[in-house]
Amino acid sequence: MNIISAFLSVFLFVSCANAKEKSYTGSTPAAPVIRTFLGIPLSDSVDFIRWKLILHNKLYQIECNYGIGKPNTNGFFDGGKKIEWSGKLSKEKNFFQLRNGNKVLKIAELNEDLLHLLDADNSLLVGNGGWSYTLTNLSPSGTDQVNITTKQTALKDSMAFQGRTPCHVPGIIAPGTLCYKLKWYLVLYANAEKNEPGTYRVFGTTWREKGGRQGNWKIINGKNGRIIYQLNDDKGNGFLFLLKLDEHILVFTDASGKLLAGDEDFSYTLNSSSFLNIY
């Protein structure tokens, strides 16, 4: 029995040691559910939170830096405030639960490269024009896997999305061009009566001096139930591709459907805007 017990102990130790540790980073807004979990007072002024999240077996380690953003930098005034601790996690299908005492944070695993933080009702948290709630694997695999899909619902007359992303959306920034981030404001127009896509207008860093770009868009039914919004150029060829996660969240993909992986400052997620802000 002693030999068997010793063997099992060694086996379990080796299994745990070989389990793959995953590290994620990103910057997010500070929704109430996030503040509650992290212990940030609702009265504190917070522009954004920068995350480092490590998942390993049934444990997690979290490091967060938060505060008021310092203009023309990616940091905080006075270095911001910092939080660090470890805790237990559980996973069911494609969803994690992180526990901090009696508080729980739920996270959806979009694929091996991307996580998205959830609200208390299990819906995807919606960000703003500056940051989303998507975290990116520090060593992205470039997988074409997508764990979460949604159904196409009735189209509205207009749907607006906004956000800031890194500069590596395919075909947008010429190689060698100095670029830190891309700002986006996208409006999709549709024939609501016929429930058909129509035209789009996209504004942002690349088209600021041109008054935006216009064209037609269409819906592509991809593999495994994916819904992709394709924006066409003036020749009818797709030049931007966005995976629909729900009514409020779109994520940039490449032409083959792979989700783009962000960095510690920005993801490739666009968030719905409740108002039309045509620059």
Give me the phi and psi of 124, to 5 degrees please: -65, 130
**pLDDT (average), residues 46-64:** 98
- CB–CB of 187/201 below 8 Å? yes
Q: What is the b/e burial string over 42-59, where b = at least 16 CB atoms within 10 angstroms of the residue's CB?
A: eeeebbbbbbbbebeeee
* Predicted TM-score (pTM) of this structure: 0.90
The two tokens of residue 178 are: 């100095």
Residue 92 has pLDDT above 90, yes or no: yes
Query: Measured between alpha carbons, how far is 66 from 151 in angstroms, rounded to an integer?
Result: 35
Residue 275 binned pLDDT confidence (cut-offs 50, 70, 90): low
List, for residues 210-259, the tens digit of each pLDDT value: 778 999 999 999 888 999 999 999 999 999 999 999 999 999 999 999 99
pLDDT, position 209: 67
Look at residues 50, 75, 48 and name the one whose alpha carbon lies nearest to residue 63: 50
pLDDT of residue 274: 73
Q: Percentages helix, strand, coil for the chain, rounded to the nearest 5?
A: 10, 45, 45
Q: What is the pLDDT of residues 96-140, one digit of tens each?
A: 999 999 999 999 999 999 999 999 999 999 999 999 999 999 999
Q: What is the pLDDT of residue 177?
A: 87
pLDDT at residue 7 tops 80 = no
Looking at domain 158-273, its CATH architecture is Beta Barrel (2.40)
> Cβ distance 60 to 87 under 8 Å?
yes
Question: pLDDT > 90: what percent of the chain?
Answer: 81
Q: Is 17 exposed, middle or buried (0-12, 13-18, 19+ CB in 10 A)?
A: exposed
Domain ranges of the chain: 20-137, 158-273
